[in-house]
Homo-oligomer: A and B are copies of this chain.
Amino acid sequence: MLTLYTYWRSSTSYRVRIMLNWKGLPYRPEYVSLPRMDHRAAPFLGTNPQGLVPALQDGDFELAQSMAIFEYLEERHPSPALLPSDIQRRAYVRMLANIVACDIHPLNNVRILRHLEQRLGLDEAARNDWYATWIAAGLQAFEASLEHWGWDGDYCCGDEPGIADVCLVPQLYNARRFGCDLRPYPRLVAIAQRCESLLPFAAAHPSTQADAVA
């Protein structure tokens, strides 16, 4: 049995919940509260000394970093896949996923927003401006990439969701939470809406988690 260290509103945890659901892998959730700072204390640091969720435990093997967890799950449980079989399409969806994983989320996660407020003294408006700046830059890049590369279909690449969609959906959830205007990204919004109606995505949604706070 897999154990997933997760927090309901962590978008990287949300990604891994979708992956596990997609592959039909049952897991035991271990809840790590970010507001309570559980991620920076024992016992969690004994599992992941990086002090960040998510982390996955597979028997004796512990693993952190959602994108490394993704590649691990894809190699260990290749079907149902979250990567296309064609080598260029695989590269393409990894590229899209990395727009979220490397260019958007790292700038807007909770430790950064806390630092902006507490260390740099930004007020809420300035903090939200920071958030909106990087989400807009990243989503513009994502939307422009879909157009430029010209792949077609119901999802980011073809008619099956993959790792790009798995990263996109939690990022748009976050963007909405911060009141970002998503009208400039009609393609992304349509893709995410299709994904959200699928059970593996819906069952991973923050609001449906046992540690969710109303």
A contact residues vs B (CB 8 Å cutoff): 49-52, 61-65, 67-69, 71-72, 75-76, 87-88, 90-92, 94-95, 97-99, 101-103, 105-107, 112, 115, 119-120, 122, 126, 130, 133, 141, 144-145, 147-149
User: 23 pairs across A/B with beta carbons < 8 Å?
Assistant: A49-B144, A50-B144, A52-B103, A61-B88, A63-B95, A65-B95, A65-B98, A67-B102, A68-B91, A68-B92, A69-B91, A71-B94, A72-B91, A72-B94, A75-B90, A76-B87, A101-B102, A102-B106, A106-B106, A107-B107, A107-B112, A115-B133, A120-B126
A59 and chain B: residue at smallest CB distance: B88
Cβ–Cβ < 8 Å partners of A65 in chain B: 94-95, 98-99, 102
A87–B99 Cα distance when bound, in Å, is 25
Q: Give the nearest-CB partner of A58 in chain B.
A: B88
> Quick one: which of B63, B103, B106, B144 contacts A92, CB cutoff 8 A?
B63
| A105–B106 CA distance with the chains assembled, in angstroms | 9
Which of B51, B126, B141, B147 lies in contact with A51, CB distance below 8 A? B141
A62 CA to B95 CA in the complex, in Å?
11
Does B91 lie within 8 Å of A63, measured CB to CB? yes
The 8 A-B pairs of least Cβ separation, nearest first, read A106-B106, A72-B91, A49-B144, A68-B95, A68-B94, A50-B141, A65-B98, A65-B95
Contact present for B67 and A98 (CB under 8 Å): yes
Q: Is the CB of A87 within 8 A of B101?
A: no
Q: Which residues in B have their C-beta under 8 angstroms from that of A115?
A: 133
Q: Tell me the smallest distance from the CB of A119 to a CB of chain B, in Å.
A: 8
